[in-house]
Amino acid sequence: MLERLDLRGQCNESSDELAGLLPRPQVGDAVSQDAVRRLIAQVRDGGDAAVRELTARFDGVDIAEPLVPVSELSAAWEGLPPGLRTAMETAHRRVLEFHRAEAAANHTYERDGVTVRSVSQPVDRAGIYVPGGLAAYPSTVLMTVLVARAAGVDDIALCSPPGPDGNLAAPVLAAAHLCGVTEVHRVGGVQAVAALAYGTETIRPADVVAGPGNAWVATAKQLVAGDVGVASAFAGPSEIVVIADATCPPAAAATDVVLQAEHGPGGRAWLVTWDEGCADAVCDAIGQIVDLSPRREETLATLEADGFVCLVDGPAQAVDVANIVAPEHLQLMCEGAEELVSSIRHAGAVFIGPWAPASVGDYVAGPSHVLPTAGTARFAGALTTDDFTKRMHVVDVSEAGFDQLAPAVAELAEAEGLWAHAASVSRRKEWSTSGVRP
């Protein structure tokens, strides 16, 4: 089920050579960027009519009015089973508290008569994408909307693809209600990203678009970036790397490999170990777990296409492999796991030890589960409040500070041939005292 890669005896390879031995995701091959561009242009030019046509084409339902009435959101919340409602409230509290604590604080820098305040300003409107269609992800509502809320965004629109009956799952609607979202649209795929980026007759454009999705959705976000704010991560199909050894129960490692694979095709699942017996036992356990899963077909599709068991010489090479893969989720289920963390440079989130499965991060740990995939953890991280804010600097200069710094400004301006820049400081004293203007 998992392709076996044996890197033992190659631990002296350079990182570039080691990378050449590992399969890498081919993001550009997953979908046609030209095809995505055409769909984006169709929505940008055709508005609501284009959204309706594309929803009918890709989701198989004709929806004349995609906006969900607010009454349906509150009804969904009231109709939740008590256990699920409590679970959502637990996740809501933890996610909001974490991101409020992590949010960058305003700060002030003072020196030589110059005071600079760095002020974090939220965007006016956020567009949130929540995957759906064949599965429901109320947790993604919490993990995106609450990050925007913690950043100070008040105006939030949420889009999610309709199911075969043309509706959104009740838990998704309930989560939106819990998070205070009143604008929910039954729109998914590229058409949702385009509508949130450029607007239609009924969906106002957002300043930032965030949320995970399949390769089409992630590619669409890349293509609209610049016209609208988009988190730098390629938040596509789910991935996990599990580093395990003989101290880890095989069934535990196997379950953790499978838990991200069950999202379906397009993701990646890795087991990395220096113990061949561990590899064999975990692979056997994976087969048993997959056979029990109600999502057997989706899980198999991922594992057979992009499932790997990688044999290495030891923990150091296991970390090298993880850094090259740069996974969305990295799980350390081996002796001395904590000591390995300082060597991890590229991962969306790291989970340590037997009691921290990635599922805890998916639901209740606190940080957003919207994470970089397809190797983009090399330069991007998790969704945070920074994705919904921008820094504004407020500069105040005293007369004494001006006197001290003006000569440096004039010298730099003259070196760059910018006369007015230099004049703005060299003549300012004269203008302020005599009222003379050039």
Q: What is the pLDDT of residue 438?
A: 46
Give pLDDT < 50 ranges for the chain.
438
What is the DSSP secondary structure assignment for residue 228, as one 8-state letter? B
In degrees, rounded to 5, the angle at the alpha carbon of residue 282 between the alpha carbons of residues 277 and 283 is: 100
**For helices 33-59 and 215-224, angle between their N-to-C axes, nearest 10 degrees:** 130
- Active-site pick, 328, 335, 369, 421: 328
User: Could you give the C-alpha distances from 240 to 13, 159, 208, 249, 258, in angstroms and in order?
Assistant: 24, 26, 27, 18, 9
Catalytic site residue 328?
A: yes
Catalytic site residue 338?
A: no
Q: Which two tokens stand for residue 403?
A: 């006197």
Q: How many CA atoms lie within 13 Å of 425's alpha carbon, on the beta-carbon side?
A: 20
Q: Which of 274, 246, 271 is nearest to 258 (CA)?
A: 271
Q: How far apart are CA 300 and CA 25, in angstroms?
A: 18
Per-residue b or e along 405-426, where b marks 16 or more CB atoms closer than 10 Å to that residue's CB: bbeeebeebeeeeeeeebeebb
Using a 10 angstrom Cβ sphere, with 0-12 exposed, 13-18 middle and 19 or more buried, the burial of residue 86 is exposed
- Which helix (H) or strand (E) segment holds residue 177: the answer is helix 170-178
Q: What is the pLDDT of residue 105?
A: 86
Per-residue b or e along 99-138, where b marks 16 or more CB atoms closer than 10 Å to that residue's CB: beebbeeeeeeeeeebeeeeebebbebbbbbbbbbeebbb
| Residues 6 or more apart whose Cβ sits within 8 Å of residue 430 | 436
Q: How far apart are CA 285 and CA 308, in angstroms?
A: 14
Q: How far apart are CA 207 and CA 181, in angstroms?
A: 17
pTM, rounded to two decimals: 0.91
Q: Which two tokens stand for residue 226?
A: 């610049």
- Decide: helix, strand or coil at residue 14: coil
- Active-site pick, 185, 329, 346, 369: 329
pLDDT tens across 317-366, in order?
999 999 999 999 999 999 999 999 999 999 999 999 989 999 999 999 99
Identify the residue whose tokens are 């296991």: 318
In degrees, rounded to 5, the angle at the alpha carbon of residue 254 between the alpha carbons of residues 253 and 257 is: 90
